[in-house]
Amino acid sequence: MSKNIDPRYDPVFQRGYEGGTAVPSKRQPASAVSAPAPSVGLPPPAAPVPAVGAPQPGGAFVGPAVTVEVLGDDPAPGARVRVVNPFIVLLWLFGPALVVGASWVAFQSFTEQNPGYISQEQMAVRQFFWVMSPAFVTAGLVIIGGLLFWHAAAFRRARNQRGIREG
């Protein structure tokens, strides 16, 4: 048997145990424990919780008293103000600007394909526009299409909230 056996635990479950003589354990068997067994399935009794705002010993409070005012679903139906999402407005400006701007740049770069001698920097810029302008046009069209679907979903949601059902 190895000398690395911990006497606090059963030696059968320890590394280096070879069988044979058991090392005496310092643990008491379950029958020798005098504490009552806990009841199964029942949670331990909870401590009493003081009411919110009730003073505690030392002058401390459990928590602040909070007043909550609950409004109805629609406090003033006639005074409803339409709020415009600024990100949607920016997308409506950005999408068509991409389509128009990239189309114009592509047209300009394709019509002036051989203007004579140009520097390497100018050729790199022209090549960038030749390659990227179709992608910019596509991105603008995707933005416009996405906005149309977004507005259709928002219109349907608003229509359903007003109680108009589709027939």
Residue ranges of domains in the chain: 84-161
Check: pTM over 0.85? Answer yes or no.
no
pLDDT score, position 150:
94
pLDDT score, position 69:
63
The DSSP element (H or E) to which 134 belongs, if any, is helix 120-161
Rounded to 5 degrees, what are φ and ψ at 73? -65, -40
pLDDT score, position 19:
73
Of residues 110, 161, 152, 147, the one with CA closest to residue 131: 110
pLDDT tens per residue, range 42-85 = 666 666 665 655 566 665 555 555 566 666 665 565 666 778 88
Instruction: End-to-end CA distance of the chain: give it in Å, rounded.
Output: 85
Query: What are the residue ranges in the chain where pLDDT is below 70?
Result: 1-3, 20-80, 113-115, 164-167
